[in-house]
Amino acid sequence: MRKKIKERIKNQLRVFSHSSDVSFSPGFSERVMEKIDEIEKRERMMLDFYGSLQTVFKKVALIGAIILLVLLSYNIKIGDNFSEEEAVFASDAVYYDLNNLPLF
């Protein structure tokens, strides 16, 4: 689709350059096409950057989930310090402290 738009712009610039040599300065069409190329390059860079961030986030999220499961299973396995409820949920003391914070 961008190629169609780019070709249409090029064709229109050719028509304008032949019909109105007086109203546009020399090299106008080249400057316009350079601007369009710059915009496309910026868009491609942003999309590439977004794709790389997405890939890194997926890897970090997966590693974090695995570490969380390992720590949870370790807490449940040692058993004498934590009940299963405390390993997964907040204890009563933590809930009481959070409930009394001025933010809530």
pLDDT of residue 60: 95
Domain range annotation of the chain: 2-99
Query: Helix 28-78 crosses helix 2-19 at what angle (to 10 degrees)?
Result: 160
For 37-79, how does the pLDDT look when each residue is reduced to its tens digit (9 = 90+)?
Answer: 898 898 889 989 999 999 999 999 999 999 999 988 887 777 6
pLDDT of residue 94: 72
pLDDT of residue 93: 74
For 23-38, how does the pLDDT look when each residue is reduced to its tens digit (9 = 90+)?
Answer: 667 788 788 888 888 9
Would you say 2 and 40 are in contact if contact means Cβ atoms under 8 Å apart?
yes
For residue 104, name the pLDDT band (cuts at 50, 70, 90): very low
pLDDT at 22 over 80: no
What are the C-alpha distances in Å from 32 to residues 6, 10, 60?
11, 9, 42
pTM: 0.41
pLDDT of residue 86: 60
